[in-house]
Amino acid sequence: MSQQAFASQQIVTDQLCINTIRTLSIDAVQQANSGHPGAPMGLAPVVYELWQRYLKYDPANPVWPNRDRFVLSAGHASMLLYSTLHLTGVHAVNEKGEVLDSLAVPMEEIKRFRQLDGKTAGHPESHLTTGVETTTGPLGQGAGNSVGMAIAGKWLAANFNKPELELFNFKVYAVCGDGDLMEGVAAEAASLAGHLRLDNLCWIYDNNHVTLDGPASWSFSEDVMTRFVGYGWNVTRVADANDLMMLGRGYETFLKTSGKPTLIVVDSHIGYGSPHKQDTYEAHGEPLGEAEVKLVKGNYEWPEDSKFLVPDGVYENFKNGIGKRGAEAHAQWVKLWGDYAKQFPEQAKQLELMQKRALPDGWDKNLPTFPPDAKGMATRESSGKTVNALAKNIPWLVGGSADLAKSNKTNLDGAGEYLPGDYAGRNVHYGVREHAMGAAMSGMAETRLRPFGGTFFNFCDYVKPAVRLAALMELPVIYVFTHDSIGLGEDGPTHQPIEQLASLRAMPNILVLRPGDANEVVEAWKLALLQSHRPTALVLSRQAMPTFDRTKFAPASGVAKGAYVLSDAPGGKPDVILIGTGSEVGLCVAAQEKLAAESIKARVVSIPSWELFEEQDAAYKESVFPSAATARVSVEMASTFGWERYTGPKGRIIGMRTFGASAPLKDLLKKFGFTVENVVAAAKQTLGK
Ligand SMILES: Cc1ncc(C[n+]2csc(CCOP(=O)(O)OP(=O)(O)O)c2C)c(N)n1
Ligand SMILES: [Mg+2]
């Protein structure tokens, strides 16, 4: 059919709009010569019905706090989301959170799918593109994030809603494929959501029987519906993804279900409409090819030679559907908000601050200061005291742990437990589900809570994929990693982190802080809270370490510079520089004294954060590590990897080269060389003594 003939005969139907989503996706993938056309072709009706008829979302204000959230966990289907954002006319929002007149995804960006500096990255990235609620691509993560959004939604409702003033009741929808549901993180998250009875959560499972390698049956045969029933979900099924009425019934079922999340299993066809590729993995991962595109368009009764065609009336149809519905819902909410702000100015102010990722006045008041103490305390202990003080000042600081709250010292005293049906508490019990905890905390941060969560540092590897995405998404999540070294002792090498510090330091856009005494912990927590666009990992000890006498040593505020001279050599002219982090700073201080007795002048540098130190200017760096001072020893109970950066070619690195061992701490220290004698010997070696 020619474009003209097509234009003259069309009336705007749901089908026409669905096919517009499909063909825009196909054309963008074809033009980019890269991407996944098949999933958007199969899922277009599912997303159309949801957005056009159910999603409570105002395209003119995509940051409205009570909007329904839509998560495309199957991030490879990114064009499905971009086409939808474009056609529904979602506005762009700038970095300050101001809604602009321009579109989040204008047509030029659809045409520039997967190109440099565009808004339509290969997989959806929330910090790049308005309307993308969370970054997806690594399968299962979006599903995990959606549980965090649902947790946050319930928390906001429990803490802020008032009789007759229901500010928060938004729903969270996530589209998941076979891959998402095969991933462990989604299983953890689904288990948690079922347990917590999050009835504001709906997962739509694209049951298309295909994955990348071939038929899903090659690798996936469990009864998904029974599994989710077992998790405590309400499960329903739509036998045909093209049946809008049945899809609508699925969404209605979700909206009517209380006390449990809903899974809608939708049987669909990947590459729907493609004569040769439908229901095959070939509709996946690569463009259809020009010839197949024509055949598909023929099947859709679409002008075969058209590209990026949006038929007359399609934009209007979306405007009259989601546009009108969303604008009305938003306007009602704005009125509600006005009444709320008048009656509850204090809470309204809190919500405004949260939206800006700002902190309340006095957020750092009444923080503990720790007196000098040779025996001192574990940094996890001082962390527990600090975060409890902070939590009193910041009502939306929400804590939790993956079943180690007592060990991580993350419990917020008197702040209540977050439990099924009882959602006001600020202690979330993620259970032994580190990965889901990480993904959920990202979803909570996207919903503007300030979440922190704890586990043992060694299990940082169990949450790492979520940490990495939080860093990419620029989310200020705080990870409390305790038991940070072989210093944890008897639990042995299965629990002793070695390479975790190096791996986090290698990750872009995350602040890693390993404070060296109780007062450095207070500073570290302050820095973590001041971050608005990056996560923080607090790396804390199980074992006690001395609290330094700050009347003799430099103030702990030096933590803000990443590294600082804690205790200098006489006259500021060191023979040797001893560099430590965390529990090893004390060791350096003890070695400094010993060296002094032998007339060797040592400087001790505490370097809790490589990232912050690297951000300092050259003059400051030179003042801490003068280039002329080449005799340097680093001491850290972790992998030696990377320390050459600070020790230089003439320095010595005292660290770990094996997995550790199971034994009492004092024996481990001796075996692995974390003794004053060994530091002293290394210092002398660097001086050729
Ligand atoms: C963690 C992770 N592993 C692997 C991939 C690569 N990958 C992208 S899509 C896909 C297949 C997914 O199959 P399914 O979820 O059923 O999606 P469909 O093929 O049906 O669109 C894979 C393995 C990924 N994106 N994330
Ligand atoms: Mg599939």
Query: What angle, 0 to 180 degrees and rounded to 10, lies between the N-to-C axes of helices 324-343 and 345-355?
Result: 130
pLDDT in tens, 571-630: 999 999 999 999 999 999 999 999 999 999 999 999 999 999 999 999 999 999 999 999
pLDDT in tens, 205-221: 999 999 999 999 999 99
287 phi/psi in degrees, rounded to 5: -60, 160
pLDDT in tens, 291-326: 999 999 999 999 999 999 999 999 999 999 999 999
Does residue 212 line the site of ligand 1, with CB under 6 A?
yes
Rounded Cα gap, residues 456 and 476, in angstroms:
20
CB-based neighbours (< 5 A) of ligand 2, an ion: 177-178, 208, 210
Of 133, 282, 381, 434, catalytic = 434
Dihedral sign for Cα atoms in the order 214, 216, 220, 221: negative
Does residue 138 line the site of ligand 1, with CB under 6 A?
yes
pLDDT in tens, 504-519: 999 999 999 999 999 9
Q: Which ligand 1 atom minimizes the distance to the CA of 211? A: 13
Does residue 178 line the site of ligand 1, with CB under 6 A?
yes
At residue 513, what is the residue type? Answer: L
CA of 297 from ligand 2 middle (Å) equals: 23
Rounded Cα gap, residues 507 and 518, in angstroms:
26
Q: For residue 490, what are its two tokens?
A: 């008897």
Rounded Cα gap, residues 376 and 413, in angstroms:
23
* Eight-state DSSP code of residue 413: T
Q: Which ligand 1 atom minimizes the distance to the CA of 39? A: 21
CA of 380 from ligand 2 middle (Å) equals: 44
Q: Is 434 a catalytic residue?
A: yes
Q: State the DSSP string of 480-527.
A: EEES-SGGG-TT-TTT--SSHHHHHHTSTT-EEE--SSHHHHHHHHHH
Locus of tokens 């971009």: 82
Kindly give, in sequence order, each residue whose CB lies less than 8 Å from that of residue 242, ignoring residues fewer than 6 positions away.
45, 272
Q: In DSSP terms, which residues pair with 207 in a beta bridge?
A: 267
Ligand 1 mutation pick, 180, 212, 222, max ligand atoms within 8 A of CB: 212
Does residue 279 line the site of ligand 1, with CB under 6 A?
no
Long-range Cβ contact pairs of 668-673 (< 8 A, separation 24 or more): 668/486, 668/487, 668/489, 669/487, 672/486, 672/637
Query: Is the pLDDT reported for residue 10 higher than 80?
Result: no
pLDDT in tens, 82-118: 999 999 999 999 999 999 999 999 999 999 999 999 9
Does residue 284 line the site of ligand 1, with CB under 6 A?
yes
Q: Which ligand 1 atom minimizes the distance to the CA of 180? A: 15
Q: Which ligand 1 atom minimizes the distance to the CA of 75? A: 25
At residue 394, what is the residue type? Answer: I
